[in-house]
């Protein structure tokens, strides 16, 4: 697994794979094959050792070959790659020392007429290309656009391209997988950096990959290349699925159907602890599908569902799962339009549940009634166990009534350490003062209130002396 999650894993492919310097490519108009590359165009392993402290980004390019003899004869792909490199450098505040170590098969692998030694390295490099596309330490750039008039198969129909896209979708962070053609329109260089980090497929089992390659994808030589691609994917999947502990599918453009595909493959990730679907429009239906799978999952401890359109219906389904799943310790439901009904469902599930350590409900519609329900959870769990509870309730329309209920619950707490975020609510002096004496055990409670308006001089004196409360006190007019 370390081969796919460390820089050392990437460096282990040197020899069979020759990473090209981005700084060299920026000044070229046409890709050269590996045999033709000048020595200064290729990184050495020693130069990229972590202790060298260089600002170098590892990148694997996935693209459609435009001819059998040369993958990019007119520099179509290279032009787009150069633009992306410049954009990345701009994002990094124009860092002139930034460079790229690029895996581009035409330039990184021996091509055409090869000696026996070169052919052996070529075959090994083909097998090890999956390390670059999969690595959590390397970006995968998918360049799906094709020049006008190209008559070959589309990127999506190519077996090699499909495999590269699938491998890059499996275990790396969404930020490290970029579709260079996303939202480009008629202008191939009209890229938006946030847009290009969206969109990926759900991980595939080797069996499903094999079926798709056999039935739906094209190869120049299917009899020879088909089995090679299957082996490459199978080796990758076997080495990573059961060892992966974290999957970040943030902003992948997934809907409920994608969640259905995901839960089918989750059992293969038998050691998965963190799963994030943040900013995917899975909706109530997707949350319900996921909740059903969570009832029998015993490995996931952290679940990220921020800005997923979960709503009250999805919150209710997740609450039912939490009643039987005591493995999840952290649940992020920020920005999900969850109101009182959904809050009640969640709090009913969390009562007397000693394993929850973090609940994010920021930017929902909890209100005072929902805050009172959460306060009841704090009361019911006090004394049953000793733990840390991080509770995010920012921007929820909570006023003094909800604040006083939470303060009363904290006042009676002597076992749970609570970090309570109430920024951006409608809490005034009365609600803020409720937290002033809500610390039976020193250092056990932290309350973040943000701006509190119209505070009297006495209120400012009392609250200003409370080290456990962070707030910006505005005097009464």
Helix (H, G, I), strand (E, B) or coil at 104: coil
Note the pLDDT of residue 194.
Answer: 52
Residue 187 has pLDDT above 50, yes or no: no
Go through the chain and tell me how many residues it has: 477
**Average pLDDT rounded to a whole number, residues 454-462:** 93
Q: State how far the Cα of 111 lies from the Cα of 105, in Å rounded to an integer.
A: 9
Note the pLDDT of residue 196.
Answer: 62
**Average pLDDT rounded to a whole number, residues 235-248:** 95
Residue 440 has pLDDT above 70, yes or no: no
Residue 193 has pLDDT above 80, yes or no: no
Average pLDDT, the chain: 91
Note the pLDDT of residue 175.
Answer: 86
Note the pLDDT of residue 95.
Answer: 60
Note the pLDDT of residue 444.
Answer: 78
Q: Are 33 and 114 contacting, i.e. CB atoms less than 8 angstroms apart?
A: no
* Run of H or E residues at 244: none
Note the pLDDT of residue 384.
Answer: 61
Note the pLDDT of residue 415.
Answer: 72
Note the pLDDT of residue 170.
Answer: 94
Residue 417 has pLDDT above 80, yes or no: yes
pLDDT tens readout for residues 45-56: 999 988 777 789
More confident residue, 175 or 29: 29
pLDDT tens readout for residues 86-128: 888 877 665 667 899 999 999 999 999 999 999 999 999 999 9
Q: State how far the Cα of 377 lies from the Cα of 386, in Å rounded to an integer.
A: 14
The dihedral sign for the CA sequence 215, 218, 222, 224 = negative
**Average pLDDT rounded to a whole number, residues 275-297:** 97
* Helical spans, DSSP H, in 135-220: 159-170, 193-196, 206-216
| Percent of the residues in the chain that have a pLDDT greater than 90, as a whole number | 78
Note the pLDDT of residue 435.
Answer: 93
**Average pLDDT rounded to a whole number, residues 212-232:** 93
User: Which residues fall within 8 angstroms of residue 469, CB to CB, at 6 or more apart?
Assistant: 432, 435, 436, 447, 449, 463
User: In the structure, what pLDDT confidence band is assigned to residue 380 with cuts at 50, 70 and 90?
Assistant: confident
Q: Which CATH superfamily is domain 245-353 in?
A: Ribonuclease Inhibitor (3.80.10.10)
| Percent of the residues in the chain that have a pLDDT greater than 70, as a whole number | 92
Note the pLDDT of residue 197.
Answer: 60
pLDDT tens readout for residues 418-437: 899 999 999 999 999 999 97
Select from 3.40.50.1100, 3.90.950.10, 3.40.50.300, 3.80.10.10 the CATH code of 365-476.
3.80.10.10
Tokens (6 digits) for 269: 């990730």
Residue 305 has pLDDT above 60, yes or no: yes
Task: Note whether 245-353 and 365-476 share their fold.
Answer: yes
b/e code 156-190 from CB counts within 10 Å (16+ = b): eebbbbbbbbbbbbbbbebebbbbbbbebeeebee
Residue 191 has pLDDT above 60, yes or no: no
Domain limits, the chain: 2-239, 245-353, 365-476
The dihedral sign for the CA sequence 155, 161, 167, 172 = negative
């Amino acid at each position: 697994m370390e081969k796919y999650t460390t820089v050392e894993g990437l460096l282990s492919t040197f020899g069979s794979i020759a990473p090209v310097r981005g700084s060299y490519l920026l000044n070229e108009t046409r890709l050269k094959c590996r045999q033709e590359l000048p020595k200064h165009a290729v990184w050495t392993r020693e130069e990229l050792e972590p202790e060298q402290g260089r600002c170098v980004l590892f990148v694997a390019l996935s693209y459609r070959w435009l001819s059998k003899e040369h993958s990019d004869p007119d520099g179509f792909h290279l032009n787009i790659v150069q633009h992306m490199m410049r954009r990345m450098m701009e994002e990094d505040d124009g860092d002139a020392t930034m460079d790229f170590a690029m895996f581009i098969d035409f330039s990184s692998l021996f091509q055409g007429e090869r000696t026996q030694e070169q052919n052996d390295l070529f075959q090994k490099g083909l097998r090890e290309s999956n390390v670059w596309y999969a690595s959590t330490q390397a970006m995968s750039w998918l360049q799906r656009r094709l020049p006008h008039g190209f008559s070959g198969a589309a990127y999506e129909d190519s077996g090699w391209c499909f495999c590269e896209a699938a491998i890059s979708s499996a275990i790396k962070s969404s930020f490290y997988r970029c579709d260079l053609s996303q939202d480009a329109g008629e202008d191939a260089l009209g890229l938006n950096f946030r847009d290009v980090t969206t969109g990926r497929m759900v991980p595939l089992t080797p069996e499903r990959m094999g079926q798709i390659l056999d039935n739906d994808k094209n190869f120049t030589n299917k009899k020879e290349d088909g089995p090679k691609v299957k082996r490459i994917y199978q080796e990758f999947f076997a080495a990573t699925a059961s060892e992966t502990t974290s999957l970040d599918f943030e902003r992948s453009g997934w809907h409920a159907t994608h969640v259905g595909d995901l839960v089918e493959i989750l059992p293969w990730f038998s050691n998965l602890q963190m799963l994030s679907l943040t900013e995917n429009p899975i909706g109530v239906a997707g949350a319900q599908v996921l909740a059903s799978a969570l009832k029998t999952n015993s490995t996931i401890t952290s679940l990220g569902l921020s800005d997923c359109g979960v709503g009250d219906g999805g919150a209710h389904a997740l609450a039912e799962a939490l009643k039987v799943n005591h493995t999840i310790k952290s649940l992020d439901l920020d920005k999900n339009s969850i109101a009182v009904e959904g809050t009640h469902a969640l709090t009913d599930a969390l009562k007397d549940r000693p394993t929850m350590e973090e609940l994010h409900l920021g930017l929902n519609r909890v209100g005072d009634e929902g805050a009172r329900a959460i306060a009841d959870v704090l009361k019911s769990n006090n004394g049953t166990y000793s733990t840390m509870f991080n509770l995010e309730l920012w921007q929820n329309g909570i006023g003094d009534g909800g604040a006083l209920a939470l303060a009363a619950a904290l006042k009676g707490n002597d076992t749970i350490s609570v970090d309570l975020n109430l920024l951006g609510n409608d809490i005034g002096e009365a609600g803020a003062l409720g937290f002033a004496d809500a610390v039976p055990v020193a250092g056990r409670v932290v309350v973040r209130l943000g701006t509190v308006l119209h505070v009297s001089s006495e209120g400012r004196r009392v609250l200003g002396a409370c080290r456990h409360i962070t707030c910006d006190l505005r005097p009464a007019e």
